[in-house]
Amino acid sequence: MTSTARRKKLTTSAMIASFADPGQRTTSAPFGHALNRLAEERPEIVGLSADLAKYTDMHVFRDAHPDRFFQMGMAEQVMLGAAAGMAEVGLVPFASTYSVFATRRAYDFLCLDIAEPGLNVNVVGALPGLTTGYGPSHQATEDLAILRGCPNLTIVDPCDSVDIEQAVPALAAAPGPTYLRLLRGAVPTVLDEYDYRFELGKAAELRTGRDVVLISTGLMTMRALQAAERLAADHVDVAVLHVPTIKPLDTAAILRAARTDRLVVTCENHSVIGGLAESVASTLAFAGVGARVVPVALPDEFLAAGALPTLHDRYGLSTDALVTRVRAELGGTSGDQPSAWAADPVPATA
Amino acid sequence: MTALSSPQAPAGTDQRSERVERIRQAASRIRRNALDMGEVQGQGYIGQALGVADVLAVVYTDQLRFRPEDPHWRDRDRFLLSIGHYAIAAYAAMAEAGIIPLQELETYGSDDSRLPMSAMASYTPGMEISGGSLGHGLGVATGMALGLRHLGNEAQVFDLLSDGELDEGSTWEAAMACAHHGLDNVTAIVDVNALQADGPTAGVLRTEPLVDKWRAFGWHALRVDGNDVAVLVAAFDEIRRHRGSPSVLICDTRIGCGVPLLENREKAHFMRVDEAEWQIARDQLQEGLAR
C-alpha cells in the first residue's frame, strides 16, 4: 500500500471561489446586470476596468454596452484617475478591480482625484476581506480600515445579490464618491426573504431578539442570520442588525441596538482593526454607552492561503464558528478565542 | 468674451510676428505677476514660474479656448496643472488671461485666499484639478479626453507636467492609456527644467531620452526651446493639426528665465530671494523685454 492511498483528500480553493453554501440560492453576476439595467435608464453611466472585467462581473456591462466600457489595462492608478476625469466631464463611472488594488495600490488616486473633489465615481472592489484563498496579495482584509479615514467617501459592504442590485442605482444616485465591496459570480440571494430594502446610509433590523444582537455587515449578515436560526433552536433569541453602509454609519440604529442588556456582537468580513467592530465601539464610546462589544472579525494577521471554507472556519467567519463564539460568550467563556480585553477591568484608580 | 484661438488662417510673416510679439508681451506680464506674488511670500517656486512663463503665455493667450467669465463652460479646452507647485505660474497666467482679477494675486498663499501655494480646484476658478501629489494629471486628462470624445465634445485637454514628474510610474500608465485609446485630443506639455527637489534630474533619476521614450509609448512627440515663443507657437499649431495619437510637447526651459539675477544663481528647486532683490528682478525683466 502506498502512502498516497492513506492520504486525506485535499481541499483546495480557486482564486475566486464562491462562498455560497452548497445548495444555496444564488444569482449570477448581480452587479453586472444591475449596472446594465441602470445604464438603460441613465446614458451617462460608463464602466471601466483594469484588466479584471471578467472577474468583477463588469464583463456583463462590457458585452451589453461596448461603447460605454473603457478598458484601462492592468493599471489601477490611471483607471481611477481616468474615472475622475470622466466624472469631471459629466459621466457617472463605475470602475472595477480587486479591492486590494483599488485600496492598497491606487489609494492616492482614489483619495485625491476622486474623493477630494467629491466626484460621482463609484469604485467597485472585488474579493473583499476573506473571499479568496489566494493569500494576502488578493485578500483585502484591511480595505475598510484604509478607506474609512477618507473624507467624502461612502462605503458599502453588501450582504448578497439583493443588496447589490439595489445598491448600484443608489450609489449612482448619490452625488459623491462611493466604494462598493463587490460580491461576484454566483452570489447568494438571502435578503428577499426579509422585509428589506437597501437604503444608503441606513442599517436594517432583519430580525429581533432579546438575548443577543448581531450587528453585521457584508456577507457576514448572511452568516449572522444562519447563526440566529441555529441559536433559536437552543432558545437563544438573537437579533440581527444589518449595516450595509459602513460610512456614513447609521449611528442612531447602532446606539438603539446597543442600549440594551443584550450581548452585542459585531460580525464582519474584515480585519478586527479599522472595520465595523471599531466603528461600533467608537460609536458607543463617543456616546458614553458602556456596552462591551464582541468582535467577530478577521485577526490582525496576513491570512493563510487555502480553501475558503477551511479558512472561514479557521478565522471565525463560518456560521459554525459564529455560533460557537456566541455560545461561549453567553456561557461566560470565550471558547478558543482569547479575549484581548477583560470585560470588567480593575479600575486604574480606586 | 470667448478667447478664441487657433487653428487660425495661415498668417503672413507680419501677422505671425505680431502674434509672437503679443505673446512675448503677455509672457513678460506673467513673469511680472509671478515676481509680485513671490515677493508676498519672500520665496517659492519662482524659478519654475519664470521658466514656464512663455509656455503658459502661448497656452493661455493663444491656444486655449475658454470663457474667462464662465470657467465651467462645457465646451472649454481643459488645461490641467499636474504640477500643483507651479500654482504661482498658473495664477500669474490666469490673471493675464482675465480668469482671476489681477489685484487678487497679492493674496497668494495667504489665509483664506483663493490662490493657495499648491493649486487646488476647489479654491480657484479655472483650476481644473488639484495638484500637489505628482503623477495625477495625465491620468485625469486621459479620462477627460475619453469622456469628451464619448460625448462628442471637441474640446482639447492639455496637461502640464514637469520632467521630475516623469519619475512617477502613474504618468506612464496614463501615457500608455492615451496612446492605446488614440486620444488625439490630449496634449501633454513637459516642462524640462532639468531640476527637481533633490537636485538635477539627470542625477536624481535619469528620464532621458525623452523624445524616444514618448514615441516608444505611441505619442507624437516634439521637443522645442520652451523659452522661444515663435518656436512654441509653431509647435502648438503643428500639434493641433495632428490626428490619430496623443501629442507631447517637450519644452526645455531655463529656471529663472527673463531675470538674469535669478537665472544665474545656484539652481534651486525652491528659490529664496532677498527683499531687496525683487525690485532688481522686476527691473531686469523690463530691460529684457525692451531688448
Q: What number is the ipTM of this complex?
A: 0.93
Output the pLDDT for position A165. 98
Give one word for B126, left, alpha or beta, with left for phi > 0 and alpha for psi -120 to 50. left
Amino acid, single-letter form, for residue A194: Y
Give the integer Cα–Cα distance in Å for A310 and A303.
12
Residue A59 is placed in which grid cell? 464583463
Q: Among A78, A89, A112, whose Cβ lies nearest the Cβ of B147?
A: A89
A39 pLDDT tier (thresholds 50, 70, 90): very high
Output the pLDDT for position A1. 45
A335 pLDDT tier (thresholds 50, 70, 90): very low
Output the pLDDT for position A103. 98
Beta-sheet strand order (sheet of B220-225)? B78-81, B157-162, B186-192, B247-252, B220-225
- Best mutation target, B82, B146, B158, B167, to test chain A (most A CBs within 10 A): B146
Residues of chain A with Cβ-Cβ distance to B143 below 8 Å are: 81-89, 93
Q: What is the pTM of this model?
A: 0.93
- In A, minimum Cα distance to B75 occurs at A89
CATH topology of domain A201-330: Rossmann fold (3.40.50)
Q: How is residue A20 annotated by DSSP?
A: P
Question: B250 forms bridges with which residues in the sheet?
Answer: B190, B223
Output the pLDDT for position B28. 97
- Enumerate the CATH 3.40.50.970 domain ranges in chain A, comma separated: 26-188
Q: What is the CATH number of domain A26-188?
A: 3.40.50.970
Convert A263-296 to b/e letters by CB count within 10 Å (16 or more is b). bbbbbbbbbbbbbbbbbbbebbeeeeeebbbbbb
CB contact under 8 A, B143 and A81: yes
Q: Indicate whether B6 pLDDT > 90.
A: no
CA of A281 to nearest chain B CA: how many angstroms apart? 34
Across chain A, mean pLDDT equals 93
Mean pLDDT of B195-204: 90
Q: Contact B86/B52 with Cβ under 8 angstroms?
A: yes
Residue A114 is placed in which grid cell? 476622486
Classify B169 as helix, strand or coil: helix
Q: Which residues touch B231 (CB under 8 Å, ≥6 apart)?
A: B224, B225
CB atoms within 10 A of CB A40: 11
Domains belonging to chain B, first-starting first, are 14-290 (3.40.50.970)
Give the integer Cα–Cα distance in Å for A170 and A42.
13
Q: Indicate whether A341 pLDDT > 50.
A: no
Output the pLDDT for position B11. 56
B223 pLDDT tier (thresholds 50, 70, 90): very high
Closest C-alpha to A326, from A294, A280, A349: A294
Output the pLDDT for position A265. 98
CB contact under 8 A, B174 and A81: yes
Mean pLDDT of A16-22: 81
Output the pLDDT for position A350. 41
Residue B174 is placed in which grid cell? 496614463
A vs B, Cβ pairs < 8 A, gives 100
B265 pLDDT tier (thresholds 50, 70, 90): confident
Give the integer Cα–Cα distance in Å for B182 and A42.
26
CB contact under 8 A, B143 and A108: no
Q: Give the DSSP per-residue string, B114-158.
A: SS-SS--TTTSTT--S--SSTT-HHHHHHHHHHHHHHTT----EE
Output the pLDDT for position B1. 41
Mean pLDDT of A226-232: 98
Q: Among A78, A81, A116, whose Cβ lies nearest the Cβ of B130?
A: A116
Mean pLDDT of A44-57: 98
CA of A47 to nearest chain B CA: how many angstroms apart? 11
Closest C-alpha to B122, from A90, A152, A118: A118
- In B, minimum Cα distance to A109 occurs at B136
Give the integer Cα–Cα distance in Å for B9 and B81.
29
Output the pLDDT for position A334. 53
- Best mutation target, B120, B151, B165, B173, to test chain A (most A CBs within 10 A): B173
- In B, minimum Cα distance to A92 occurs at B147
Each residue's pLDDT tens digit, A53-105 = 999 999 999 999 999 999 999 999 999 999 999 999 999 999 999 999 999 99
Residue with cell 461603447: A67
The pLDDT > 90 percentage for chain A reads 88
End-to-end CA distance of chain B: 33
**Alpha carbon B10 to its chain's center:** 25
Cα-based distances in Å from B39 to A35, B28, B30, B282: 54, 17, 14, 11
A349 pLDDT tier (thresholds 50, 70, 90): low
Residues of chain A with Cβ-Cβ distance to B147 below 8 Å are: 46, 85-86, 88-91
Output the pLDDT for position A19. 86
- Enumerate the CATH 3.40.50.920 domain ranges in chain A, comma separated: 201-330
Q: Indicate whether B43 pLDDT > 80.
A: no
Q: Among B140, B147, B177, whose Cβ lies nearest the Cβ of A73?
A: B177
Q: Contact B42/B275 with Cβ under 8 angstroms?
A: yes
CB contact under 8 A, A81 and B145: no
Across chain B, mean pLDDT equals 93
Question: Which is higher by pLDDT, A108 or A332?
Answer: A108
Amino acid, single-letter form, for residue B4: L
Residue A42 is placed in which grid cell? 441613465
Each residue's pLDDT tens digit, A253-263 = 999 999 999 99
